[in-house]
Chain A
């Protein structure tokens, strides 16, 4: 797949502090790319470099086949984690100003803003000042300002913070729609459930280094531990359990479905497969449940960071 953004061996130091150490990341076109990492890992530094707010000390950033340059500003939309707008400026005026700074002409900016304001049903806010709006309302305006110039690359830093569930859902749908229309989205967050839900690729940064990246599914494959969750319906359960424990490493699970007697987490050795386990169980009890345990993004995050 073609990459819209390639970050090649980027380093950034602030005095003695290393914010990014030789970080390389590729973001495929049309993906929702999760940029993950604990606080202070260097995510914001990387995002600022992509936005040309700061320059890398060394390394290269390539956007859509070209070295990053000032013309790319209009191709990037950025919603920073710390958001804000001019408090005493009118919503419309402000949005027009920011749109024009992104390189839209006056008439084009007006047209696009009209579209978005109508889409979000906030047209009557045009002449209100930001300080008259609630935080959630201001966030909507901020979202529009980020996406209105139809950028190829969108960078959202914690986009759902400050939204109620209804509006968070609205924003999520918008993000997915933008992706379907061809935009690539870099998505930086701590909320792993939204990573699970939205991202198809991720990169994990910890202590200035990239420690993991790739397709989310591949990473999950990589992180799975050959563990299976098994539900059994049996007559002589106690002896069966002994038998299983003798052969496999198990862990019992409390939550049992109504039609079963035992639920177990079974860890297989590297040379054993799920078929071996099924075969072993097949004659002894009725299998009511059988799934491979796939690590969640959260598990991967915790594991990768603690291993690092």
Chain B
């Protein structure tokens, strides 16, 4: 037991003192903070820009549509005629909206054109289209000699607030957030398993090629060495995750502070959202960020962090023992290719399945793959933000533990024989034979 502790300690420090570990651990959150701030800053810059747009309305019916707004200014060039207006627009304005003469209100929408030097953003076109549609609609209603205000009174906006049976509210924005968070967590586990699994494998190969292995296993059992190596690397992984989690938490509080969001209920945040704006004006406004922040506090954060650590450990332990066995079976890293593919396969499948799972988190595929132990660490983690029944989590965790024990047993056998075998690259048949030595 004491020796295991020594090995874990050595492996942990060998990993943590490594320069690339330090750089990756510290730099990644900084990079993320920097990137987020940059995006927020750029978005702000973008939405502050006022676009001046010219228009030629030959129908003379829609002039009232072109009223200036926060980020758009309109200039009426109808008097100049279309060809002159085009020339002027080219040098002076962002673009030119052209509405041709029209016989009836029905054909008014046909032949509307937008001229600009650069291709316009979909966002801009959407906004103009929305204004025109609304204008034509008002005109049509007026033609029917119905009071426009009455019609408007009949319009209803429905904004569904979904709520589970224990009273937690969620919104559409929340669902998107869940997808993002689930996807990110699943992907993170995928990366962690591969990075730390490979690191275990490298460390095994290093001991083998530097030939220290024989000295060590004359002092400890090969299984102890393998386990110590796996645990030491896992601790390094957890340390890295904790550092990242803390820095993200700090980042979150900084953002919360900067945007002055009180830890308000989500309904208040939703109330501050103008539904019309949400539908038609894309891009990050302050109210969006407030909604996101409110939704983050709505996520099952504790369950997520706990299950992240559990599934990381479970998945990592399974895969890293396979990686350790591979490392023991070969003489150099270049020989690992033929064994790596079958190991990576379930992980890659899990990621693909996972990304379709977040669309339908409670379907049979989602449930199946989140129980299957080779994919569950990734798929289950992607489902958890959406809420998973307890029995599924327990079954999946149980299967994971059983599989872990079985795989470690197999891996240890191959490892024990492999570390002392030099020379040729073993075939699968030989690996099978090793199990019986």
Query: Which residues of A are interface residues toward B (Cβ below 8 A)?
Result: 14-15, 48, 51-54, 70, 73, 76, 78, 80, 82-89, 97-98, 100-102, 142, 145-146
Residue of B nearest to A157 (CB): B214
Minimum C-beta distance from B392 to chain A (A): 43
Contact status B218-A85, CB under 8 Å: no
Asked if A53 meets B433 with Cβ closer than 8 Å, knowing A80-B211, A84-B211, the reply is: no
Complex Cα distance, B6 from A100, in Å, reads: 8
Contact status B437-A14, CB under 8 Å: yes
| Neighbour of A82 across the interface among B206, B214, B221, CB < 8 A | B214
Residues of chain B contacted by A97 (CB below 8 angstroms): 6, 10
Minimum C-beta distance from A272 to chain B (A): 52
Complex Cα distance, B87 from A89, in Å, reads: 74
Minimum C-beta distance from A105 to chain B (A): 10
Closest 4 CB pairs of A and B: A84-B211, A101-B219, A84-B210, A51-B218
B191-227 to A contact mask, C-beta < 8 Å, 1/0: 0000000000000001100111111111111000000
Residues of chain A contacted by B217 (CB below 8 angstroms): 53
| Neighbour of A84 across the interface among B212, B218, B219, B433, CB < 8 A | B212
Asked if A89 meets B215 with Cβ closer than 8 Å, knowing A84-B210, A97-B6, A101-B220, the reply is: no
Complex Cα distance, B206 from A294, in Å, reads: 48
Contact status B420-A53, CB under 8 Å: yes
Residues of chain B contacted by A83 (CB below 8 angstroms): 211, 215
Residues of chain A contacted by B7 (CB below 8 angstroms): 101
**Chain B interface mostly helix, strand, loop or mixed?**
helix
| Neighbour of B215 across the interface among A15, A48, A52, A145, CB < 8 A | A145
Q: List 8 A-B contacts (CB under 8 A).
A: A51-B218, A54-B420, A84-B215, A86-B207, A86-B212, A89-B14, A97-B10, A98-B216
Residue of A nearest to B214 (CB): A80
| Neighbour of B218 across the interface among A76, A87, A89, CB < 8 A | A76
Residues of chain B contacted by A98 (CB below 8 angstroms): 215-216, 219
Contact status B210-A87, CB under 8 Å: yes
Complex Cα distance, B6 from A251, in Å, reads: 65
Contact status B216-A101, CB under 8 Å: yes
Residues of chain B contacted by A54 (CB below 8 angstroms): 420
On chain B, the number of residues with a Cβ less than 8 Å from chain A's Cβ atoms is 23
Tell whether B280 is near chain A: CB-to-CB under 8 Å.
no
Tell whether B137 is near chain A: CB-to-CB under 8 Å.
no
B5-16 to A contact mask, C-beta < 8 Å, 1/0: 011001000100
17 extra interface residue pairs, beta carbon distance < 8 Å, beyond A53-B214, A82-B214: A15-B433, A15-B436, A51-B218, A53-B217, A73-B218, A73-B219, A78-B214, A80-B218, A84-B210, A84-B213, A84-B215, A86-B14, A98-B216, A101-B7, A101-B216, A101-B219, A101-B220
Minimum C-beta distance from A110 to chain B (A): 15
Residues of chain A contacted by B220 (CB below 8 angstroms): 101
Residue of A nearest to B211 (CB): A84
Complex Cα distance, B436 from A70, in Å, reads: 23
Residues of chain B contacted by A52 (CB below 8 angstroms): 218
Minimum C-beta distance from A147 to chain B (A): 13
Asked if A85 meets B210 with Cβ closer than 8 Å, knowing A97-B6, A101-B3, A101-B219, the reply is: yes
Minimum C-beta distance from B210 to chain A (A): 4
Interface centre among B6, B210, B215 (most CB of A within 10 A): B215
Contact status A80-B10, CB under 8 Å: no
Contact status A78-B215, CB under 8 Å: yes
Complex Cα distance, B353 from A22, in Å, reads: 57
Complex Cα distance, B224 from A52, in Å, reads: 14
Residues of chain B contacted by A76 (CB below 8 angstroms): 218
Minimum C-beta distance from B15 to chain A (A): 12
Residues of chain B contacted by A100 (CB below 8 angstroms): 6
